[in-house]
Chain A
Amino acid sequence: MSLLWVERLISIAVVLQTLESFAVAPWPWAIVEGETARSLRPFLKHYRVLLAIRLIAALATLVGAPEFLSLSLYAQLFTTWLIAVRWRGTFNGGSDCMTFQILAACFVASIFNGHAQVQTAALFYIGAQVLLSYFVAGVAKLREPEWRNGHSLAQFLGRSRPLRLLSWLTIGFECAAPLCLLSPAICAAYLATALAFHVLNFYFFGLNRFVFVWAAGYPALLITTIALHARH
């Protein structure tokens, strides 16, 4: 049931991403064709067809025809990867990567539909991805002197004075991600804060895709935490 939420939320994110992609011309094919593997060229040449297939697949997952679930998830997964290749991996890298991870887990789970252990493993995998995405980012910032003294954040926000307190709040919030596993209540509170964090990132940096993609993974982390505590 919870995986259904993840599948639908990630499909909403894919629909929005695809509609955005329709409004943007990709890198000229004449320039990127040369570095593209020959086997992929027939797929990548017709960019808008790719987008159309992706949109239809995402909508089909949303509508929820169970007999076509694996196919629609696979189509989303494959076109997500092809579109990333078409953009040379440069179109909003982080959110593209998480989109792919979530779709991959959902696809594998859909193949083994009816096997509860695989469904649970897929949820755990997505939950771990979400948790690690914050924790690894936090540790990486913690290791950077420029983040610790607030200069990096000030530079990102176009401020002349270092933002030490805000920097440490960000580092602390991200490094605290493993606390989610302590209890479902802590996890829910953390995820609510995380959602607000992404909305702020959108406000300051325009990173709108992260909001929807990470939100799609939240049910998985919450269910993972609930499952861990139900076993004790």
Chain B
Amino acid sequence: MAPRLFVKVASRTKSANAGRTTNAEGTANAEGTANAEGTANTVGSANIAGTAPSDWRQIKLPVRGSWFSLIFNPTGNLAHARNNLYERLLLEAQSTEDVEALTSYKLTEHISREHILRNNWARAGTKFQFKLVATSGVATNIGVATNIGEATNIGGPAAAGAVAAQEFVSEVSSV
């Protein structure tokens, strides 16, 4: 199944700062929790220093299904292009330490930033994070998480037969 992109923006309240990665069952191994659907609790689940994060919100293109889109479907095809980008980022993130240097990372960050600004989820300069969540029926999983200032790759096999979740959480950026 195609990876899904979520963003979390900082608000004014202070909160804890903890990195996180998911395992096959989609539960977090740090202070926060997250599941395969990409939802997470707010308290202590963010890496956004000195601020309380909002909930994770999914970035989704408004793809409308109509018969006209059989011949003209730019938004739908852009959604496919983005899915391919996210899959590539998940793949590339497994084989590099410097995730932020990846073009796929920069593009996904750009998409997140644009979406936040366009939808007035935050003002310019606000801290945000994005994460990618992919689920598949295949019982293999590598969770990837990054904390502020250091990139950490944490991998682990999924339980046999479980629906695997792969999650990538970005570094903190500014809108």
- Please, which residues of chain A bring their CB within 8 A of the CB of B74? 20-21, 23-24
Q: Is the interface of A mostly helix, strand, loop or mixed?
A: helix
A113 contacts chain B at the CB level, 8 A cutoff: no
B80 touches A206 (CB 8 A): yes
Q: Is the interface of B mostly helix, strand, loop or mixed?
A: helix
B59 contacts chain A at the CB level, 8 A cutoff: no
Q: How far is the CA of A211 from the CA of B75 in the complex (A)?
A: 17
B137 touches A152 (CB 8 A): yes
Question: Contact partner of B77 among A32, A88, A199, A209, CB < 8 A?
Answer: A209
A window 175-218: CB within 8 A of B = 199, 202-203, 206-209, 211
Closest chain A residue to B71, Cβ basis = A16
B77 touches A20 (CB 8 A): yes
B71 touches A206 (CB 8 A): no
B96 contacts chain A at the CB level, 8 A cutoff: no
- Please, which residues of chain B bring their CB within 8 A of the CB of A34? 103
B residues near A (Cβ < 8 Å) are 1, 63, 65, 69-81, 84-85, 88, 103, 106-107, 110, 135-138
For the complex with contacts A88-B85, A91-B84, 14 further pairs of A-B residues with Cβ separation under 8 Å are A20-B74, A24-B78, A27-B107, A31-B103, A35-B103, A88-B88, A90-B81, A90-B88, A91-B77, A91-B80, A146-B137, A206-B76, A206-B80, A208-B76
A residues near B (Cβ < 8 Å) are 16, 19-21, 23-24, 27-28, 31-32, 34-35, 87-93, 146, 151-152, 155-156, 199, 202-203, 206-209, 211
Question: Closest 3 interchain pairs by CB?
Answer: A90-B84, A206-B76, A23-B74
